[in-house]
Structure 1
Amino acid sequence: MRSAPRFRWAWWLLAYASLGLGLLGMFLPGLPTVPFILLSAFAAARGSERLHRRLLADPRFGPMIRDWQAGRTVARRAKWMATWTMLASALVLLLVAANGDGRRWWAFALPVGCMAVVATWLWLRPEPPPAGHDGG
């Protein structure tokens, strides 16, 4: 899926910036990994065939990207990993907020609310069929 050559650089830039944010999300609580990796794959398909092939071949990200591209599905294991990560992030935010003076309650409520919306959206996504399922 190629885009007009004049916009290829923008897709390339978006692909690598999203990949960088996704990789940071693996280590920083509150920063999601999966959406940024999926955005990176989407942009790479339009701006960098080489990066797109590497993402699809990656043992961590490839299956997730292929599931999403094939049917907008998310594996149950990925849902649980994301949910536990968001819960851990919410706990860290709660501990930090508990040490404050209470005037900045929104600094806890806003990110936790966003995580709740993301978790709800994530659990509403269908799951891919089991491996070896022939569909009939």
Structure 2
Amino acid sequence: MRQQIKHWLLISFGWLCVLLAVLGALLPLLPTTPFLILALACFAESSPRFHQMLLNHRWFGPPLHQWQQSHTIRRTVKFKAMLLIVISFAISILMLWGRPALQLMLVALCLLLLGCVFRLKESEPD
């Protein structure tokens, strides 16, 4: 019974992550790749069919396959992610003009995210 509950929870969370990733592809401030990686991990534990479906997807498949094989990302993807983080946090900080405590919190969170992305290994250039 516990195993079946875990199975359905992982599938449900995986599909929620796919939905958020699709929204992230349409909305500039919502990330796509982390949600797809989470979905891939959920499906790897719960549904080989859905796992393979993500890996075979025309748009999402190649970067996910690269991540699964080598835990690396392309340099251009890394640069774009860091640029989007800076732009989105800059807009948020400007929107909170006059609230220095919240602005400092956003600066700290931005630096933390940039550090995490910076530490990701890059794939070898083609």
TM class, shorter-length: 0.7 to 0.9
User: 1:71-94, CA deviations, whole angstroms, 9 ceiling, x for partnerless residues?
Assistant: 211111110111111122012112
Aligned residue identity for 2:54: L
What root-mean-square deviation, in Å, do the aligned CA atoms of Structure 1 and Structure 2 show? 2.0
> Which residue pairs with 1:72 in the alignment?
71
Shift of 1:56: 0.8
Shift of 1:38: 0.4
Contact 2:17 / 2:39 at 8 angstroms: preserved in 1? yes
Note closer, same or farther for the CA distance 1:107–1:51 as it changes in structure 2 (3 Å cut). farther
| Identity across matched positions, percent | 26
Aligned ranges for residues 1-136 of structure 1 at < 5 Å?
Answer: 4-26=3-25, 27-29=27-29, 31-98=30-97, 102=98, 104-131=99-126
Identify unmatched segments of 5+ residues in structure 2.
none
> What CA distance in whole angstroms lies between the structure 1 residues aligned with 2:123 and 2:7?
31
Q: Matched residue pairs, number?
A: 123
Aligned residue identity for 1:62: G
TM-score (norm 1): 0.76
Identify unmatched segments of 5+ residues in structure 1.
132-136
TM-score (norm 2): 0.81
Shift of 1:8: 1.0
